[in-house]
Amino acid sequence: MEGIRDSRRGDRRADAIAATIAILLAITAPVQATTAPDFALRSVTGSNHRLSEHRGEVVAVLFWASWCGDCRRELERLERLRATYAPAGLVVLAVSLDDDPARAAALAEATGIAYPVLLDKDKRVSRAYQADRLPLILLIDRNGVIRARHDALDEREERGLLVQLRDLIDE
């Protein structure tokens, strides 16, 4: 009887491991590779930034707004990733969909981020990237190809994003 219980417990563990692997594979499945549309936007500090200037680097682009509840957490998460992976070639750009640049600047300052906050006043860039839900995180490889697309992340999805990010940095 004891052996039967042990084998069932082992089957449950194997099932749980298989389910976890399936979830991680689904989370880390790349999007259909498409070239990221180039854009040039002004930052809240007045400087201009063009996506194509970052060819040769891995770029994380975050579409967000000050009125978005999950966006602050993603701003902070990407700041931590930038601090860790910038020496390996990660660049982070935050594209704000706020109509009021002062609100975007205030939230960026409050979160302590050190990457550019860009203003998409006419929403042309957000439409080009189909940023219809916020937050939206895109990972773009060194050749300018969108390799991953994520909405707000939970703990499990963050692990998937980290796997994708490390893979892109290692390429």
pLDDT tens by residue, 98-110: 999 999 999 999 9
pLDDT at 144: 97
Nearest to 113 by CA among 80, 65, 153: 80
**Residue % of the chain over a pLDDT of 90:** 75
Distance CA 57, CA 86 (A): 9
pLDDT tens readout for residues 78-91: 999 999 999 999 99
Q: Any idea of the CA torsion for 162, 163, 168, 171, to the nearest 10 degrees?
A: 140
User: pTM for the whole thing?
Assistant: 0.80
Task: Output the pLDDT for position 16.
Answer: 55
Decide if 29 contacts 161 (C-beta within 8 A). Answer: no
Confidence of residue 12 (pLDDT cuts 50, 70, 90): low
- Residue 25 is predicted with a pLDDT of 47
Residue ranges of domains in the chain: 1-30, 32-170
In terms of Cα–Cα distance, which of 44, 171, 26, 153 is closest to 107? 44
Q: Is the pLDDT of residue 129 over 80?
A: yes
Task: Tell me the CATH number for domain 32-170.
Answer: 3.40.30.10
Average pLDDT over residues 2-29: 52
The pLDDT, as a whole number, for residue 1 is: 52
* pLDDT tens figures, 20-30: 554 444 444 44
Q: Answer yes or no: is pLDDT of 6 > 60.
A: no
| pLDDT of 18 above 70 | no
